[in-house]
Amino acid sequence: MRTHFCGLIDESLIGQTVTLCGWADVARDLGGLCFIDLRDHEGIVQVVAEPSDAEGNAAVVATAAKVGYEDCLRVTGSVRRRESVNPKIPTGQVEVVATAIEVLNKAEPLPFHHHENPGEDIRLKYRYLDLRSPEMQRRMRTRTKLVAALRRWLDARGFQDIETPILTKATPEGARDFLVPARMHSGEFYALPQSPQLFKQILMVAGFDRYYQIARCFRDEALRADRQLEFTQLDMEFAWVDEKTVQDTVEGMVRDVFREVAGVELDAFPRMTWAEAMRRYGSDKPDLRIALELVDVDALVKDSQFKVFTDAAGVDGMRVCALRIPGGAALSRKQIDEYAAHAAKYGAKGLAYAKLGEDGAVNSPVAKFFDEAAFAALLAHVGADKGDIVFFGAGAFNTVSDFMGAVRLKAGRDFKLVEDSWKPLWVTDFPMFEWDDEAQRFVALHHPFTAPAVDDVDELRANARTATSRGYDMVLNGNEIGGGSIRIHRPAMQSAVFELLGIGAEEQQAKFGFLLDALKYGAPPHGGIAFGIDRIAALMAGTESIRDVIAFPKTTTAQCLMTGAPSPIEDAQLAEVHVAVRAKDGA
């Protein structure tokens, strides 16, 4: 239907006749002289319909005069040099003088044009109009390039792309499952996979060597800005490996793919233990673009009169730390309250601070609990200087780390301290378990299939609270973009971990019997990782929201505004799959 793409018409075609297909991005009729910006996926070129002696010219001009926004056109014409060059577009040197214009499909008046910036709801309802914008086209193309580059890299290295089921068995560990009633098995349900974790481990037991899959995963969780009901991960698993092989391999992959797709050269990734990341950055996914660090001050506050500090200083499982923000003394009382409110969201009961005025005067509600010299020593220890503010956090190690980490990120943004760069790292040596005070049991920090650092079952049982795992996360600019581990490959260790997590023998058999069986029959040592494709695509495309790199995303209320999913279903259809909608009271 066409000879060229609109966006690729250039000076080399001057004098030639071309046929183009596209949308009327803009159409202007200057009294018998018509200009149409014709757009396809490659870009825009100017089409002119002007009076001439050529046969049929009147009809061409008449058709052009009636063209409206987003009409679908086929245009034939000759390329010529433009009188008034448009430097803003790559085709700006030339224009196409139309000799024929065919309206392939007329557009009705639009709910919005992609030139506008309407609200996200209307963009999602008319997603097909939204996606026409060059910005969205560029973002989606970045995603396509990312996935293609990853596949090419993996295919070239013998990784085998294997599909695992979407209709599978419910595993009540982890997040909430989506359920699918089974028509042929009344009262039974399939579940959509939260990840292909068990299947990829089984593939290693099944003799495949290196596996990958760009896999759709499903979690029925509350939606935040960066979450979707369904999401895509690059899922990988390696047989006969230790963590170094996995990490070195995928680090190379990420470096190569960032170079190819985003033109970004990443340095070798630093490695940091979970404990160090929490201590220095208050986060297990530190954003290293922000130079600010938490400083432990237990030794400098333990002799103060401030009970909040002294109750925590030097106590096992607790910490007292400080964060110095250069220039932070400029914060108003109200702004400091905002920081306290922000910290409170992450569990802070208060947020002590000290301001150092430009004159060196200290303004701090907690100074009175210290000898003057001791307080000066404290401030000196954290490197506080004139014009700075120092925030303090004290309490349980994880809570303090979390809220001080959140304060650090907010300060980084507020004070424009986020370096314009790419800062990846590996975080390793995660705790194997976290103690859940409420449930009075251990929960797995990664997942229950992660190998502990120790090989011995009795040693793990004896030191469960302090045991570390063979898990690792890849972090980029404060985002956990990949997470993985060496897995348990011996059935006795897997059973022991299940037990520590409060899953008894019977429940183990019912839920994970097939995994325990598989481990019995010669499972090789294996490990792997999964990368969040949506997030990596968003980072590469330079957008905050993963919705911008998903063609048809759901809203935070779990709806597709375009199709209207989810929707009510007739009872007869529900009867076929043996379920009924419950009455509102839950009966």
Contact positions with a copy of itself (CB under 8 A) in 234-253 = 239-242, 245
DSSP H stretches of helix in 464-504: 491-500
Shortest distance in whole angstroms from residue 22 CB to a copy of itself: 8
Does residue 579 belong to the site contacting a copy of itself (CB under 8 A)? yes
Does residue 307 belong to the site contacting a copy of itself (CB under 8 A)? no
The DSSP code for 204 is H
| 230: number of Cβ within 10 Å | 15
Shortest distance in whole angstroms from residue 154 CB to a copy of itself: 9
Please identify which residue in 28, 106, 271, 465 interacts with a copy of itself, judged by CB under 8 A: 106
Residue 237 annotated as lining a ligand binding site: no
Does residue 559 belong to the site contacting a copy of itself (CB under 8 A)? yes
Residue 532 annotated as lining a ligand binding site: yes
Site for a copy of itself in 27-46 (CB under 8 A): 39-41
Contacts of 350 (CB under 8 A, 6+ apart): 308, 340
How would you write 62-96 as a 3-class SS string?
HHHHCCCCCCEEEEEEEEEECCCCCCCCCCCCEEE
Q: Closest Cα to residue 114, out of 134, 144, 142, 138?
A: 134
Q: Which stretch binds a copy of itself (CB under 8 A): 104-112, 355-363, 397-405, 418-426?
A: 104-112
Shortest distance in whole angstroms from residue 481 CB to a copy of itself: 18
Judged by beta carbon, residue 232 or residue 247, the one nearer a copy of itself is 232
Contacts of 430 (CB under 8 A, 6+ apart): 274, 284, 445, 446, 468, 469, 471, 472, 473
Please identify which residue in 50, 226, 230, 251 interacts with a copy of itself, judged by CB under 8 A: 230
Residue 337 annotated as lining a ligand binding site: no
Q: Closest Cα to residue 47, out of 338, 418, 23, 58?
A: 23
Does residue 271 belong to the site contacting a copy of itself (CB under 8 A)? no
Shortest distance in whole angstroms from residue 43 CB to a copy of itself: 11
CB-count exposure of residue 450 (10 Å: 0-12, 13-18, 19+): buried
Paired tokens of 290: 């922000």
In three-state secondary structure terms, 527 is: strand
Shortest distance in whole angstroms from residue 44 CB to a copy of itself: 12
Shortest distance in whole angstroms from residue 180 CB to a copy of itself: 5
Residue 287 annotated as lining a ligand binding site: no
Strand duo 318-325 + 526-532: pairing: unpaired
Does residue 524 belong to the site contacting a copy of itself (CB under 8 A)? yes
Does residue 566 belong to the site contacting a copy of itself (CB under 8 A)? yes
Site for a copy of itself in 538-557 (CB under 8 A): 550-552, 554, 557
Shortest distance in whole angstroms from residue 89 CB to a copy of itself: 16
Site for a copy of itself in 351-410 (CB under 8 A): none
Whether 180 contacts 167, CB under 8 Å: yes
Does residue 104 belong to the site contacting a copy of itself (CB under 8 A)? yes
* φ, ψ of residue 169 in degrees (nearest 5): -95, 140
Residue 487 annotated as lining a ligand binding site: yes
Does residue 514 belong to the site contacting a copy of itself (CB under 8 A)? yes
Shortest distance in whole angstroms from residue 80 CB to a copy of itself: 24
In three-state secondary structure terms, 574 is: helix
Distance CA 304, CA 312 (A): 12
Site for a copy of itself in 126-165 (CB under 8 A): 126-132, 137, 140-141, 143-144, 147-148, 151-152, 155, 160-165
Residue 488 annotated as lining a ligand binding site: no
Whether 431 contacts 468, CB under 8 Å: yes
Residue 220 annotated as lining a ligand binding site: yes
Give DSSP secondary structure letters for 439-471.
Answer: TTEEEESS-TTBPBS---HHHHHHTTTT-BBSE
Judged by beta carbon, residue 122 or residue 318, the one nearer a copy of itself is 122
Site for a copy of itself in 484-513 (CB under 8 A): 489-490, 513
Buried b / exposed e along 123-161 (16+ C-beta atoms within 10 A): bbbbbebbbbbbebbebbebbebbbebbeebbeeeebee
Judged by beta carbon, residue 162 or residue 318, the one nearer a copy of itself is 162
Judged by beta carbon, residue 139 or residue 355, the one nearer a copy of itself is 139
| 461: number of Cβ within 10 Å | 14
Q: Closest Cα to residue 88, out of 49, 134, 48?
A: 134
Site for a copy of itself in 57-76 (CB under 8 A): 70-72
Residue 534 annotated as lining a ligand binding site: yes
Does residue 563 belong to the site contacting a copy of itself (CB under 8 A)? yes
Judged by beta carbon, residue 39 or residue 280, the one nearer a copy of itself is 39
Whether 409 contacts 287, CB under 8 Å: yes
Residue type, 302: K
Does residue 439 belong to the site contacting a copy of itself (CB under 8 A)? no
Shortest distance in whole angstroms from residue 93 CB to a copy of itself: 23
Strand duo 318-325 + 294-296: pairing: antiparallel
Residue 95 annotated as lining a ligand binding site: no
The DSSP code for 49 is E
Judged by beta carbon, residue 191 or residue 321, the one nearer a copy of itself is 191
Does residue 457 belong to the site contacting a copy of itself (CB under 8 A)? no
Residue 381 annotated as lining a ligand binding site: no
Site for a copy of itself in 314-353 (CB under 8 A): none
Does residue 297 belong to the site contacting a copy of itself (CB under 8 A)? no
Site for a copy of itself in 160-219 (CB under 8 A): 160-170, 172, 176-192, 198-199, 202-203, 205-209, 216, 218
Does residue 447 belong to the site contacting a copy of itself (CB under 8 A)? no
Helices 274-281 and 397-414: crossing angle, nearest 10°? 50
Residues at the annotated binding site for L-aspartate?
173, 219, 446, 487
Residues at the annotated binding site?
173, 219-221, 228, 446, 480, 487, 532-535
Residues at the annotated binding site for ATP?
219-221, 228, 480, 532-535
